[in-house]
């Protein structure tokens, strides 16, 4: 009997099956009521008493091994079934989550598109700049507060190297390298040393514009800005220019648009004035043209600059600036656009 068990054990260790039917046949052969193992169990009562312990243990081992082997083969078949299902080429693809464009990118592209149609090309420049391009060439007096440590990030150990505080530095680089006619917009990120709150951040985004040619006047500036405001905020939008001051423009102005929340009647958003400020502008100061190698007796020009966050806040009524840089996908997914 022991030899018979050993022989079956060896057989069981090497069982193979290529499909479910073959496996079922093996199960019947070894494990069913009429199978080989049950037949041995039936013979067990004829085993002499002194051998019962040894034979009983071997018989149990055989039964366990046969069960293990057959369920292992069964599992292998089930896995293969799953693999085959994975390979079903007619199955619908898994859904892929598509990203959405950042609201600031959507609005920046919209601003760029409007000015592109008006004949402006895009100019780019470095975010880490020197003092000359950010301040000196832009007619900032030596003691102008914008140069103060509170506003500007300096690169340690290089007091002349700074993070640009506005994209006017790109205008400077363009004037330096080109003669008029110049008609560019400069989109980009700028940095200011401000405490972060719902309405200020240490970095934000600007689009600045520059047009230099013979006989450019303030009327041209006003017309281009009106066109921009009406394309961006709707055809009924009105604009208003208030006198202001920038070192690089003379005369300078700040532009407001009619508040589209209350339709000009006055609300919390426009602080009950009916107007909201959106950009700074003016005629390029002759000193700036000269500093950058352009003859101010022959040419005149205008410049304007706006914050992309501000325009986005107005368009989408985002109350807290910090939302733009927190990477909260619940917020970002709200903005779907083909732009």
Contact residues toward ligand PHE (CB under 6 A) are 166, 168, 208, 246, 249, 280-282, 303-305
Closest-approach residue to ligand PHE (CB): 305
Q: Say whether 154 sits in a helix, a strand or coil.
A: strand
- Bridge partners (DSSP) of residue 158 are 155
Q: Is 69 or 310 the residue whose CB approaches ligand PHE more closely?
A: 310
**Which CB sits closer to ligand PHE, 66 or 285?**
285
State the Cα–Cα distance between residues 109 and 106, nearest whole angstrom. Answer: 5
Q: Minimum CB separation from ligand PHE for residue 305, in Å?
A: 3
Going 257 to 261 to 267 to 269, the CA torsion angle's sign is negative
Residue (35 or 247) nearer to ligand PHE, CB = 247
The minimum distance between CB 210 and ligand PHE, in angstroms, equals: 8
For ligand PHE, the closer CB: 12 or 285: 285
Q: Name the CA dihedral angle for 16, 19, 20, 24, rounded to a multiple of 10 degrees.
A: -40
| Least distance between ligand PHE and beta carbon 170 (Å) | 10
Least separation in angstroms between CB 281 and ligand PHE: 5
Structural contact between residues 170 and 124, judged by C-beta atoms closer than 8 angstroms: yes
Q: Is the dihedral of CA 198, 203, 204, 208 positive or negative?
A: positive
What gap in Å lies between CA 165 and CA 130, rounded to an integer? 11
Least Cβ distance, residue 130 to ligand PHE (angstroms): 17
Nearer to ligand PHE, 188 or 305 (CB): 305
By C-beta, is 69 or 307 nearer to ligand PHE? 307
Measuring CA to CA, how many Å separate 311 from each of 46, 165, 177? 97, 18, 30
Shortest distance, position 136 Cβ to ligand PHE, whole Å: 14
Pick from 120, 228, 227, 250: which is nearest to 181 by CA? Answer: 120
């Amino acid at each position: 009997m022991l030899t018979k068990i050993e022989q079956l054990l060896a057989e069981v260790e090497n069982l193979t099956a290529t499909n479910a039917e073959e496996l079922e046949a093996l199960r019947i052969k070894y494990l069913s009521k009429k199978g080989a193992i049950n037949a041995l169990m039936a013979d067990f009562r004829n085993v002499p008493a002194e051998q019962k312990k040894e034979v009983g243990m071997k018989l149990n081992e055989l039964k366990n091994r046969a069960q293990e082997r057959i369920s292992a083969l069964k599992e292998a078949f089930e896995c293969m079934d799953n693999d085959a299902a994975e390979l079903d080429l007619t199955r619908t693809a898994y859904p892929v989550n598509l990203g959405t464009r950042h609201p600031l990118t959507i609005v920046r592209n919209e601003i760029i598109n409007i000015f592109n149609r008006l004949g402006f090309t895009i100019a780019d420049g470095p975010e880490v700049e020197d003092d000359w391009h950010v301040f000196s060439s832009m007619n900032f007096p030596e003691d102008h507060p914008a140069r103060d440590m509170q506003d500007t990030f300096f690169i340690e150990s290089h007091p002349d190297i700074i993070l640009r505080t506005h994209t006017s530095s790109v205008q400077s680089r363009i004037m330096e390298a080109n003669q008029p006619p110049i008609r560019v917009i400069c989109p980009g990120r700028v940095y200011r040393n401000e405490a972060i709150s719902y309405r200020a951040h240490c970095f934000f985004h600007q689009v600045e514009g520059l047009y230099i040619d013979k006989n450019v006047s303030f009327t041209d500036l006003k017309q281009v800005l009106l066109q921009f405001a009406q394309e961006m905020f709707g055809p009924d939008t009105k604009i208003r220019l208030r006198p202001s001051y920038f070192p690089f423009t003379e005369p300078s102005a700040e532009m407001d648009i009619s508040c589209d929340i209350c339709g000009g009647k006055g609300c919390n958003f426009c602080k009950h004035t009916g107007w909201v400020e959106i950009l700074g502008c003016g005629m390029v100061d002759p000193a700036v043209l000269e500093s950058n190698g352009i003859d101010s007796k022959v040419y005149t020009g205008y410049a304007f600059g706006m914050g992309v966050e501000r325009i986005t806040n107005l368009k989408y009524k985002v109350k807290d600036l910090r939302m733009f840089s927190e990477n909260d996908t619940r917020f970002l997914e709200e903005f779907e656009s083909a732009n």
